[in-house]
């Protein structure tokens, strides 16, 4: 059989993969909310041709999410409320901030049990449920006043209160990346919209998280058909498991996506 090397080995229909480096610092500031929800315009249209697969090769981002933020900074106690300053805390530093904000005799954190102990000379209550703040900006979950990790519980009047469960200052443990121009390849079992890529958080506060395709599992999304053969921009945002926007405090990130057939 005669072999036609020109046609068989140098097939003009073969489209080579295209690697694109995407950096949040190149976002369009007028179209972007912040670095965690931004639009990045291509200087020139990205020519996809037959490249519909979008494989995540690499992502690097800082652990810059505040453990205390606008969504969990309010303490409801003694028929009143106070806000803890937003920021990154350890158990010990958060205990100090709580004592100052609440103006009570003592707040301590146990390295052994991972719980807070609140003490005052006068009896007081925690009013997570009765104040009608099961969600929103209530600090009940991060202070450990829940039995199931989800539902808040009130406490009877006493001079000493101890967290019901160990506290967790490392939440969230992952981010969900949604790129509007790509189909969502993941669906959460509980809630939230489909998302494009899963980004584990493995570094402590202030550290760098790096996802590498060859070190984890392969993540491949597909370009939505409405975009035809070119992409002019990408809208990229980060959310939590319940689809809540994540404030990464405008820290910058980079990712590499490989487009292929």
Domain boundaries, the chain: 14-65+172-260, 74-162
* Segment-wise mean pLDDT, segments of 10 residues, the chain, 261 residues: 45 80 96 95 89 95 91 90 93 97 97 97 92 72 91 93 93 91 80 85 83 88 84 93 86 96 90
What residues form DSSP beta bridges with 17? none
Domain 14-65+172-260 sits in CATH at 2.60.120
Dist. CA 66–CA 171, nearest whole Å? 9
Confirm if 255 and 59 have CB atoms less than 8 A apart. Answer: yes
- What does the DSSP 8-state code read for residue 147? S
Identify the DSSP state of 250: T
pTM, 2 dp = 0.82
pLDDT at 71: 86
* CA distances in angstroms from 22 to 34, 42, 46, 179, listed in the order given: 15, 9, 12, 12
Q: How high is the pLDDT of residue 8?
A: 47
Q: Which of 258, 174, 187 is nearest to 223 (CA)?
A: 258
First to last CA, the chain: 30
């Amino acid at each position: 059989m005669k072999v036609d090397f020109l046609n068989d080995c140098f097939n003009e229909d073969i489209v080579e993969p295209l690697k694109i480096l995407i950096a949040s610092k190149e976002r369009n500031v007028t179209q972007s909310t912040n670095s965690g929800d931004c639009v990045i315009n291509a200087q020139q249209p990205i020519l996809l041709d037959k490249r519909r697969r979008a494989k995540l090769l690499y992502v690097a981002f800082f652990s810059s999410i505040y453990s205390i933020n606008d969504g969990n900074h309010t303490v409801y106690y003694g028929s009143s409320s106070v806000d803890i300053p937003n920021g990154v805390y350890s158990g010990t530093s958060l205990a100090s901030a709580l004592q100052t904000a609440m103006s009570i005799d003592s707040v301590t954190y146990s390295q052994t049990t991972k719980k807070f102990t609140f003490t005052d000379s006068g009896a007081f209550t925690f009013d997570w449920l009765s104040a009608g703040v099961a969600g929103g900006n209530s600090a009940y979950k991060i202070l450990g006043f829940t039995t199931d990790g989800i539902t808040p519980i009130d406490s009877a009047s006493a001079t000493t209160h101890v967290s019901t469960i160990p506290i967790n200052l490392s939440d969230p443990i992952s981010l969900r990346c949604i790129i509007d121009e790509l189909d969502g390849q993941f669906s959460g079992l509980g809630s939230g919209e489909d998302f494009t890529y899963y980004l584990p958080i493995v570094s402590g506060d202030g550290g760098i998280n790096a996802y590498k395709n060859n070190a984890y599992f392969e993540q491949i999304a597909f370009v939505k058909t409405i975009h035809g053969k070119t992409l002019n921009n990408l809208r990229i945002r980060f959310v939590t498991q319940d689809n809540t926007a994540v404030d990464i405090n405008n820290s910058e990130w980079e990712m590499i996506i490989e487009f292929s057939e």
